Structure 1
Amino acid sequence: MLPGSVLTMQHLTKIEVNKNSKGLLNADDLKDTMVLNVKVSKQQLAEKRHLSKGVKVFTTTRDLKKGEEIGANDFIAEVKSESQISKNQLLVAEVIADSKASRDLQIGTTLSHSDLKLRKKVLVASEIIPQGQKVTPSNTNVSDYFDVIATDTLMSASDAEHMEVVRTIKSGSPIRLSDVRPSLMVKKGDDVYLVIEKGSLSITTKMLALEDGKFGAQIKLKNPESQEIVSGIVSGPGKTKGI
């Protein structure tokens, strides 16, 4: 058998030996997948030093161009000696089949993380979003993205709910948390509605905003009839709720 061959119990015959058995292979040594380090001959005593632990890696079955999507038929699983591979080559088939080649790959390449651009779902601008404009479902969408993304990249439209951009965002660009801030939903002098709920009872009163307010902010409101000033929490455009 040649180096790199996977050794199983089918390749072995159990025998009795008179010499010291220390260093010789036994059945317990094959609980893990084992690979030959050296060439061995038939009838040769199997020694532990002949073997190393085998791990599953994935090898390309055809040439792949940079940026090309990798399909399930473009790679196969192989077992190689643990000493011959790096941690970056420990991959999962489902991840590979949902990625693109980060560089040109020749047939027979053992794949590593650096060879792949992994698919991610991120929130991107579907058009140019000018500074100060609100982020909405009409100017964004969740798209596949294969390049490296920042850790604060938003993944869904709900992540940017009630937000506006602090800088102009180009069409197709991922939107980051650092790109947005809570948008102004109430302006000083606006007529707003204050909703007060007590159990199943809900009372809505038209009020005058005495200050600007973003979503979730506490602002002062005045009842134009009684002149009473109260506080409310901004809950939406032109809407507040009681504290």
Structure 2
Amino acid sequence: MTSGLPTVNFPVAQLLDSVLGNRLGSASQITVAHLAAQIGQLIGTTGGGGAGSAHPALAAYSHAPDDPDTVMLSGGYAALEDGMEVVFVPEETNTGPATINLDGLGALPALTMSGASLPADYLRPYYPTRARYMAYPGAWAVSRDLEDVEDASGGSYTRWESGLQICRITRGSGDPSMTWDFPTAFIALPQVNVTVLSNRSYFATISDQTETSVTICIHNSVDHVAETSIWACAVAIGRWY
């Protein structure tokens, strides 16, 4: 998004307007700041978000030109207060460590809830994101809702803001060995567990494991011959940052 007053795609604005109760008027250009203000009025939080607020204020999002890692928020604040919280809706994800600048009060580091610099893809586009200001160490702690993606290519996965990631798949191999390409990569080799879905005697082996894939083979426990039509459930557990 470029500098200036960012606008909301008009069909999207019309849809949101129907939810807001026709608060946005007939303008064909709806600024993000205007939209944020109207949503804030609807939920009674605009101008709130002080320390300990149960309902953080909604702040309009933008970023520096060609730099999604420099997040700029607009919420009408004159000063930062320890413990204050705001909610914003990113329109782009971050590519690495990021900063947050609320109302021009200074670009401060954005950290995970455990205190680490934001990893790439921590900000989820179009998902409400909560940030809490910490006077010490002078940074924003950014929360991240559970990310649970089903029916992804290669299975499904769940990511937690702590960095934990679990990938899952259930299928028949179709040939003596099956290469499972994880639906999303790990930062290090994950732990892979395979459960054979049969009441007969079979076992599974894994090989060629990387951060992005693993080869699984199902064997007959009697003669160790590789089987081609036995279903199995595989789970990979590791970290995404």
TM-score by length of 1: 0.27
Which structure features the higher share of strand residues?
2
Query: Relative CO higher for 1 or 2, CA cutoff 8 Å, sep ≥ 6?
Result: 2
Which structure features the higher share of helix residues?
1
TM-score by length of 2: 0.27
Larger Rg, first or second structure (1 or 2) = 1
